[in-house]
């Protein structure tokens, strides 16, 4: 049985009308967890796995001795929602929370037209010229022959809107536009007013019992409204040597991380195509069986994160190079977001196609994988296409 289908969704909550400040959301496979309020929370600087286990155990004890307002969607055990930063040693801590109550919800339908907002202030950081210079510097670094094979360079878009963000509406639109992806929103402030949110197409890892599934994406092309041209673009991406190289590096690193943990591991020889409303991606579905059933979904997420899809390869060298080229801290962008329970089951997505929101201010982030053969102008365009995921949901076309 699919681990996100233990109980039927509540159709009354499909449009996220009950989403309140301080609530949380994570969706997968067309169904979602809406966490209402917060029973327990932690922002550990180290020992994330141990902290998560402690929170879940404490939540089980609390639930055993008290009446809750509504049953959990799981019906048996508490569930933890979490957000891991890109850099575990950076200023942003891991955020772990057990919702006070949990509701299973279905994807929204028949949304009204997006209310177009106005942008009062807009700032790219770096701007196009600065980003393309960074890509050029990355290509020079990759050409030295010292073992660095890939770098992922990102940029941000800071916006000030004419009105505060309507979070339930934006989340509903993100989910509706990417029904098979992972729409998410977690509060990143104590007051529950500031949020990290997005709609990631990329599964970092899913674990159900001993079964493990990973679906890395790397290699991207913008979609076209004409069906014939869109199909041509998809096939061109599938045959692109540059994009195939970028993708192969990611798959190779994930296989190396998973192979020692798995009794069996199936890694397809060639990537397939995965699509969102705006983009085509190269994707490879990797499946395996854990050797040790004690390894949890969160353990696997920590072991895999960050993949070369958001950092580079080798990881440590790429991270140092990125720190010297990007003029900002990534925070939770390119981190991991997802859920786990006390049995070790769970699903975690790569925290991309995202924004950090505070009232009328938003910071959107997007990156592109740089390998030999990358073209600075095209990489800038790719990041722009990725930013459109959130801009579309905001009605900022």
Q: Binning pLDDT at 50, 70 and 90, where does residue 135 land?
A: very high
Give helix 297-304 / helix 241-258 axis angle, nearest 10°. Answer: 130
DSSP structure string for 107-133? PP-SPPPP----EEEEEEES-HHHHHH
CA distance 397 to 387: 11
HEC string of 343-378 equals CCCEEEEECCCEEEEECCEEEEEEEEEECCCCCHHH
| Contacts of 37 by beta carbon, 8 Å cutoff, 6+ apart | 22, 23, 99, 100, 101
Helix and strand element counts for the chain (H, E): 8, 22
d(CA 239, CA 232): 11
pTM: 0.92
Nearest to 352 by CA among 152, 139, 134: 152
Mean pLDDT of 373-378: 96
**Residue 382 appears among annotated catalytic residues:** no
pLDDT at residue 64 in the model: 78
Q: Are 283 and 220 in contact (CB under 8 A)?
A: no
The answer to whether the CB of 94 falls within 8 A of the CB of 43 is: yes
Measured from the Cβ of residue 69, the count of other Cβ atoms closer than 10 Å reads 8
Q: Exposed, middle or buried by CB within 10 Å (0-12, 13-18, 19+), for 145? A: exposed
Q: Is the pLDDT of residue 1 over 50?
A: no
What pLDDT digit, counting tens, does each position of 232-247 carry?
999 999 999 999 999 9
Please count the other Cβ atoms lying within 10 Å of the Cβ belonging to residue 291.
12
More confident residue, 10 or 148: 148
386 is catalytic: no
Q: Is the pLDDT of residue 161 over 80?
A: yes
Q: What does the alpha-carbon distance between residue 5 and residue 29 come to, in Å, rounded to a whole number?
A: 9
Q: What percent of the chain has pLDDT over 70?
A: 91
Q: Where are the alpha helices (DSSP H) in the chain?
A: 48-65, 128-142, 167-177, 227-238, 241-258, 297-304, 315-325, 376-393
Q: What is the mean pLDDT of residues 330-357?
A: 97
CATH of domain 11-393: 3.60.120.10
For residue 60, CA distances in Å to 69, 293, 298 come to: 15, 21, 18
Bridge partners (DSSP) of residue 125 are 156
Residues 321-342 have a mean pLDDT of 96
Q: What is the pLDDT of residues 47-81, one digit of tens each?
A: 999 999 999 999 999 877 765 444 454 445 689 99
Q: Find the catalytic residue in 124, 150, 246, 382.
A: 150
| Whole-number pLDDT of residue 238 | 95
Tokens 């009062």 — which residue? Answer: 120
**In sequence order, which ranges of 33-166 are alpha helices (DSSP H)?**
48-65, 128-142
Q: What's the pLDDT band for 30 if we cut at 50, 70, 90?
A: confident
Q: Determine the average pLDDT of the residues in 93-104.
A: 94
Torsion angle in degrees (nearest 10) through CA of 295, 296, 298, 304: 40
The CA distance from 9 to 17, in Å, is 15
Q: What is the dihedral of CA 385, 246, 82, 11, to 10 degrees?
A: 50
Contacts with 318 (C-beta within 8 Å, 6 or more apart), sequence order = 148, 150, 151, 152, 308, 311, 312
Residue of 202, 246, 326, 382 marked active site = 202
């Amino acid at each position: 049985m699919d681990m996100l289908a233990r109980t039927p969704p509540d159709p009354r909550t499909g449009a996220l009308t009950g989403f309140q400040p301080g609530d949380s959301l994570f969706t997968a496979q067309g169904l979602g967890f809406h966490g209402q309020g917060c029973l327990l929370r932690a922002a550990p600087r180290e020992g994330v796995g141990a902290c998560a286990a402690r929170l879940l155990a404490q939540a089980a004890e609390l639930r055993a001795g008290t009446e809750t307002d509504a049953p959990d969607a799981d019906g048996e055990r508490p569930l933890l929602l979490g957000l891991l930063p890109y850099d575990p040693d950076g200023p942003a801590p891991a955020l772990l929370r057990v919702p006070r109550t949990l509701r299973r919800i279905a994807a929204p339908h028949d949304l009204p037209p997006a209310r177009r907002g106005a942008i009062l202030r807009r700032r790219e950081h770096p701007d196009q010229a600065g980003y393309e210079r960074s890509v050029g510097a990355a290509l020079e670094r990759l050409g030295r022959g010292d073992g660095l094979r890939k770098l992922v360079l990102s940029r941000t878009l800071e916006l000030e809107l004419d009105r505060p963000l309507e979070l339930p509406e934006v989340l509903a639109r993100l989910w509706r536009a990417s029904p098979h992806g992972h729409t998410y929103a977690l509060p990143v402030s104590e007051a529950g007013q500031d949020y990290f949110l997005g709609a990631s197409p990329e599964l970092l890892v899913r674990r159900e019992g001993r079964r493990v599934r990973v679906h890395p994406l790397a290699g991207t092309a913008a979609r076209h409204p004409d069906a014939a041209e869109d199909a041509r673009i998809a096939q061109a991406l599938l045959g692109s040597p540059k994009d195939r190289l970028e993708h192969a590096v990611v798959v190779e690193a994930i296989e190396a991380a998973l192979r020692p943990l798995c009794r069996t591991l199936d890694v397809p020889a060639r990537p397939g195509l995965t699509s969102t409303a705006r983009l085509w991606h190269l994707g490879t579905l990797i499946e395996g069986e854990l050797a040790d059933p004690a390894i949890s979904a969160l353990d696997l997420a920590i072991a895999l994160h960050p993949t070369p899809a958001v950092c580079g390869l080798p990881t440590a060298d790429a991270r140092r190079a990125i720190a010297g080229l990007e003029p900002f801290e990534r925070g939770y962008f390119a981190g991991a977001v997802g859920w786990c329970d006390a049995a070790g089951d769970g699903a975690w997505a790569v925290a991309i196609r995202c924004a950090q929101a505070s009232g009328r201010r938003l910071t959107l982030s997007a990156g592109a994988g740089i390998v030999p053969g990358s073209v600075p102008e095209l990489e800038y365009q790719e990041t722009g296409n990725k930013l459109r995921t959130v801009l579309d949901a905001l009605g900022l076309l």
